């Protein structure tokens, strides 16, 4: 059996080394700061804390209660909201909770953006929305503006009178028109759910408007995409009644154990975003724009040229004239450039195996200190692979380039907080001595 254990260690070690040598452009990922990462390893990972802080069904939770209250307060402050629910363990769990509250019980309708235009699977009949027997109706979309067709969507809201409308999503270079849609939704008594999973860090850093200030009733999100925290979910709202219902549903319907060991890292990340969020978010958007412009000038087809390519962390490339994305993303991976294939708004749903698009996100490389000039270098690497150059040849240059960017910026190191360094050393020592 020791061989199996050696294999487990090998797999983790090789994964860590490999991904640290890659240019990671997956738009839904990020890295925590060293301080947040060190605090992720803690005994709370072994514990249960069902219920709300100080009203648990288990003993032994006094520090979990304390950290949960602190993380909640920090998220409220960061997003200037009245209520935050940090127990969802993912963005999907957060969506499930809110959808259950707004549309559970069957017979209700929800309007969502088209799947090919970026709706997350949890917004669809294939995901939690469908599992809750809520009818998915797709909003009209304008392929020219790469956005919801406001006039047609308003008409549809008035006709369909849904229980709620979902905005936000996973393919999201241009923010949705929250105010216009919220006005129409509210006129028929519908709520607006804004799924900020992808852009939470950009909202925190004020590179995008806060959807709750634009008229959304509730914001769901994951806490590990542009918001560079631990993997998890959050629900934010100013609606007291909605919050109360959400808090009664997240447990016991969607979580039992809510993985409390992530909450110290969430609290740290919230503080870091208060300190460095604006610098980080504005650099992310500048980097995305620089990458898109360089790809375009090198002859790669980038979506949204007439709209300035992007207003978020995402750059979307159309490779339909290059045989589709399926093979190209594998070649990019061979060159140690990690991206994902993605449906584009005009792709048929069955193009999922070989869609026209490659989705690129610059948030993680921004965290490692890359700026506009590095984005140009990355564009050149991508172009060489797309043009058919041997990925292995590009890979060696990618690894050398990446090795110059090892330090995570816009956050705290252990040296910044001697107590944290001491605590981490003690933690590691106790594990080593066990």
- Token pair of 389 as six digits: 């150059």
Is residue 97 part of the contact set for ligand DSN (CB under 6 A)?
no
- Cβ atoms of 49 and 64 within 8 Å: the answer is yes
Q: Is 363 in the site for ligand DSN (CB under 6 A)?
A: no
Distance CA 37, CA 52 (A): 25
Q: Which is nearer to ligand DSN, 120 or 261 (CB)?
A: 120
Name which of 88 and 91 has its Cβ closer to ligand DSN: 91
DSSP 316-383: EEE-GGGT-HHHHHHHHHHTTEE-EEE--TTS-GGGGGS-SEEEEE-HHHHHTT--HHHHHHHHHHHH
Q: How far is the CB of 422 from ligand DSN (least distance, A)?
A: 36
Of the candidate residues 170, 220, 265, 356, the single one contacting ligand DSN (CB under 6 A): 170
Please tell me whether residue 305 adopts helix, strand or coil conformation.
helix
Instruction: Output the CA angle 431-432-434, nearest 5 degrees.
Output: 65
**Nearest-approach distance from CB 120 to ligand DSN, in angstroms:** 6
Nearer to ligand DSN, 28 or 116 (CB): 28
Shorter beta-carbon distance to ligand DSN: residue 118 or 215: 118
342 binds ligand DSN (CB under 6 A): no
287: left (phi over 0), alpha (psi -120 to 50) or beta: alpha
Residue 122: CB minimum distance to ligand DSN, A? 8
| Shortest Cβ 381–ligand DSN spacing (Å) | 22
Q: Give the separation between CA 223 and CA 74, rounded to whole angstroms.
A: 13
Q: Contact between 312 and ligand DSN (CB under 6 A)?
A: no
Residue 32: which of 270, 230, 273, 222 has the closest Cα? 230
240-249 vs 91-103: helix crossing angle, rounded to 10: 110
| Minimum gap (Å) between residue 118 Cβ and ligand DSN | 9
72 binds ligand DSN (CB under 6 A): no
The least distance separating ligand DSN from the CB of residue 391, rounded to whole angstroms, comes to: 23
28 makes contact with ligand DSN (CB under 6 A): yes
Interface residues with ligand DSN (CB under 6 A) are: 28, 91, 120, 170, 197
């Amino acid at each position: 059996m020791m061989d199996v254990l050696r294999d487990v260690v090998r797999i983790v070690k090789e994964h860590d080394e490999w991904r640290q040598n890659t240019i990671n452009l997956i738009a839904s990922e990020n890295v925590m700061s060293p301080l947040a990462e060190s605090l992720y390893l803690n005994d709370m990972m072994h514990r249960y804390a069902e219920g709300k802080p100080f009203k648990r069904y288990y003993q032994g939770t006094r520090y979990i209660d304390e950290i949960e209250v602190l993380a909640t307060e920090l998220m409220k402050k960061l997003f200037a909201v009245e209520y935050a629910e940090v127990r969802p363990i993912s963005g999907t769990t957060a969506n499930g909770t809110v959808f259950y509250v707004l549309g559970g019980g069957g017979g209700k309708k929800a309007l969502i953006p088209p799947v090919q235009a970026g709706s997350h699977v949890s917004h669809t009949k294939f995901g939690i929305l469908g599992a809750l027997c809520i009818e998915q109706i797709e909003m009209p979309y304008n392929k020219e503006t790469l956005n919801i067709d406001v006039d047609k969507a308003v008409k549809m809201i008035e006709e369909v009178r849904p229980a709620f409308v979902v905005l936000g999503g996973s393919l999201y270079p241009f923010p949705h028109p929250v105010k216009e849609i919220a006005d129409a939704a509210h006129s028929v008594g519908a709520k607006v759910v804004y799924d900020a999973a992808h852009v939470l860090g950009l909202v925190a850093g004020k590179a995008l408007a806060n959807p709750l200030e634009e008229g959304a009733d509730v914001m769901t999100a994951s806490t590990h995409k542009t918001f560079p925290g631990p993997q998890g979910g959050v629900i934010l709202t100013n609606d007291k009644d909605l919050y109360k219902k959400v808090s009664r549903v997240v447990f016991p319907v969607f979580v039992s154990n809510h993985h409390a060991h992530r909450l110290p890292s969430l609290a740290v990340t919230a503080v870091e975003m208060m300190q460095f969020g604006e610098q980080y978010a504005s650099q992310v958007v500048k980097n995305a724009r620089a990458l898109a412009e360089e790809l375009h000038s090198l002859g790669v087809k980038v979506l949204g040229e007439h709209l300035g390519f992007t207003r978020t962390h995402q750059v979307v490339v159309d490779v339909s004239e290059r045989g589709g994305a399926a093979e190209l993303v594998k070649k990019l991976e061979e060159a140690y450039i990690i991206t994902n294939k993605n449906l584009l708004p005009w792709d048929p749903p069955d193009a999922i195996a070989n869609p026209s698009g490659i989705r690129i996100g610059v948030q993680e490389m921004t965290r490692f200190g890359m700026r506009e000039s590095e984005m140009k270098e990355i564009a050149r690497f991508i172009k060489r692979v797309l043009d058919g150059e041997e990925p292995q040849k590009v890979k060696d240059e990618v690894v050398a380039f990446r090795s110059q960017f090892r330090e995570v910026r816009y956050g705290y190191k252990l040296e910044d907080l001697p107590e944290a360094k001491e605590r981490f050393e003690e933690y590691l020592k106790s594990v080593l001595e066990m």
